[in-house]
Structure 1
Amino acid sequence: MSILEGLRLAVNGLLSNRLRSVLTMLGILIGVSAVILLVGVGNGASVAVQQQIQSLGSNLLTVFPSNARGAGGVQQGFGTGSTLTLDDVKAIANRQTSPDVVTAIPSTGGRAQLTYGNQNWNSSLTGTTQDFPSVRNYQLASGQFFSSGEVDASSKVAVIGPTVATNLFSGADPIGQVMKINRQNFRVIGVFASKGSSGGFNNQDDVVVVPITSAWS
């Protein structure tokens, strides 16, 4: 059978069964469209998750205190041991013993009640050191982050997220203003650029960061 004869038979078959041919083509189109849609949604979700992980800080490892064994030899869970110290952080960051560790920072956190004038806001409070922005991938929109000297001096300074700035200062410039964090006075020295939140992560714009020594005091 020649190619032309085959084409003629195929056309005749399509014309004699028009409804079946239309339904077959429609099924193929719907199937292909569904596959393209699923691939597009999957790729979009993958990109969104990767962006959220990168916003938290790529190549990030969190160390929690834990006792190896409890009373009677029972294995204890994470966070049940004694609190890590600044000496532990220095040991982790030691380039001779840990050459693959670029930076290590201590971190303590919780919720805090913030007050400025007659405005109140409840936010996430983090106590840490001067390397926090580079480790957690934060950028400053205005002001500056605190220095190692301010950590050593237990200075009452704070850097806030844009959500805190909006809700506590109502559009006013917060730099240089004194607010209360759990009834203690702290001077705002910086405001983070927006990072947003999605995918189940906490709102990274609703934060207050202070020197860890000030958080302990």
Structure 2
Amino acid sequence: MLGIIIGISAVVGMVSIGDGAKFLVLAEFERMGGSDLIICFRPRWIQREDGTWIQNKAPVYLEYEDIDAIMMSCPSVKSITGEIDTMARPISYKGETKHFRFEGVTPLYQEVHNWYVQSGRFIQREDLDRNESVCVIGTEVQRDLFGKTDPIGQELKIGRQRFTVVGVMKEKGDKMATEGWDKKLIVPFTTMWTRFIGNQKRGFELWLKAESFEKVDQALAEVMITLRRRHGSEEHFQFYTAKAVLEQVGKQFLIESVVLSVSGGLIGILISGFITFVVAWGVTTFLIKETEWPAVVSLWAAAVAFGSSAFIGIVFGILPAYKAARLMPTEALRHE
């Protein structure tokens, strides 16, 4: 009974921790935009099959034109935005200077990240076409620079360049995945590229939203085909999806639960055999000295105990993972 109690407690505890990790990952992706997100970028370093890392020297970079090409060629992609993120820079307003991050984006940024303006407007296509000097700010930027003053229509400086505030984003909250989002400025992608990036050979990120969670794999395949057609190969880009991360987290903890139960069964058998021999030696030595108490290890009991341990680990590991895999991510979050 004690063995069963300990075995079930250990396995259920391990799987519960795994479910907690999956819930955390899912919740953070929902904060960033949803479980149907796809992220594409050109890494600076590539890992070989032997585990070593080499610098990505291929003259292949994501291009601004890739955004429109993906939208036209990938029916399973609902929306897409290009994003250029930079380090914090001095932002000034009426003699007050503070450092904030700022990034260049395209108009569908709001839809991809499920993050919308609470006042004013967002970056529009015309802003990109004209390289306009406009920006949208987070709520922390509003509080730190403008206080109670309405920032819409006000001018601030990013370095020495003047920008007009056209919108304020809704407060996102300083959580793990969205840490610092309320403390940044957002400018048109083309304005960022031409004024702050210049001719530097650097990439940017593509954030995409699939039509649904079920179509994430299809959308990813379509994007890869489009990039292969435009750049000759997609192998120099990396792709991340919330779906793949969730599946990977589930497999780590599923393997651990099975290994825990099987190894626990083997260790239990070894301990029981050791106890059997110790008890037989003790009885023969101290209690019944006239005869030898036999040390008999019950093979059928060991087999039943080991089978029970393995069965418990498999059942308690696979069934929750199977049930979770059949749930829509939003339903899983609502259930939790």
Q: Same fold (TM over 0.5)?
A: yes
Greater Cα offset, 165-174 or 183-192: 165-174
TM-score normalised by length of structure 1 = 0.69
State yes or no: 1:162 paired with 2:144.
no
> Given that residues 121 and 164 in structure 1 are in contact (C-alpha distance below 8 angstroms), is that contact kept between their aligned partners in structure 2?
no
State yes or no: 1:51 paired with 2:27.
yes
Q: Deviations for 1:116-158, whole angstroms, at most 9, x for unmatched residues?
A: 0121121121101111111111121111112101110100000
More helix by share: 2
Q: Deviations for 1:77-108, whole angstroms, at most 9, x for unmatched residues?
A: 5697544211122222224xx22111222111
SS at match of 1:99: coil
Runs ≥4 in structure 1, deviation > 4 angstroms?
41-49, 66-69, 74-82
> Given that residues 106 and 129 in structure 1 are in contact (C-alpha distance below 8 angstroms), is that contact kept between their aligned partners in structure 2?
yes
Inter-CA distance 200–153: structure 2 relative to 1 (3 Å threshold): closer
Inter-CA distance 78–196: structure 2 relative to 1 (3 Å threshold): farther
Q: How does 1:1-217 map to 2 (within 5 A)?
A: 49-58=25-34, 59-65=36-42, 76=54, 82-95=60-73, 98-111=74-87, 112-199=89-176, 201-215=178-192, 216-217=194-195
Inter-CA distance 107–115: structure 2 relative to 1 (3 Å threshold): same
- Distance in 1, Cα, partners of 2:61 & 2:84: 10
Give the counterpart letter for 1:102 in structure 2: K
- Gap regions ≥5 residues in structure 2: 1-11, 47-51, 196-336
Greater Cα offset, 197-206 or 142-151: 197-206
Inter-CA distance 143–91: structure 2 relative to 1 (3 Å threshold): same
> Given that residues 28 and 177 in structure 2 are in contact (C-alpha distance below 8 angstroms), is that contact kept between their aligned partners in structure 1?
no
> Given that residues 64 and 78 in structure 1 are in contact (C-alpha distance below 8 angstroms), is that contact kept between their aligned partners in structure 2?
no
- Distance in 2, Cα, partners of 1:75 & 1:43: 32
Inter-CA distance 162–43: structure 2 relative to 1 (3 Å threshold): farther
TM-score normalised by length of structure 2 = 0.46
- Distance in 2, Cα, partners of 1:45 & 1:198: 16
Q: Which has the higher contact order (CA 8 A, sep 6+)?
A: 2
- Distance in 2, Cα, partners of 1:80 & 1:197: 37
- Distance in 1, Cα, partners of 2:189 & 2:45: 26
Q: Percent identity?
A: 28
Shift of 1:212: 0.9
Greater Cα offset, 182-191 or 46-55: 46-55
Over aligned residues, Cα RMSD in angstroms? 3.3
> Given that residues 123 and 207 in structure 1 are in contact (C-alpha distance below 8 angstroms), is that contact kept between their aligned partners in structure 2?
yes
- Distance in 2, Cα, partners of 1:158 & 1:80: 34
- Distance in 2, Cα, partners of 1:42 & 1:67: 31
Shift of 1:43: 7.8
SS at match of 2:75: coil
SS at match of 1:194: coil
Inter-CA distance 125–67: structure 2 relative to 1 (3 Å threshold): closer
Give the counterpart letter for 1:178 in structure 2: E
Shift of 1:188: 0.2
Corresponding position of 1:31 = none
Shift of 1:191: 0.3
Inter-CA distance 94–141: structure 2 relative to 1 (3 Å threshold): same
> Given that residues 67 and 80 in structure 2 are in contact (C-alpha distance below 8 angstroms), is that contact kept between their aligned partners in structure 1?
yes
SS at match of 1:133: helix
Shift of 1:54: 1.0
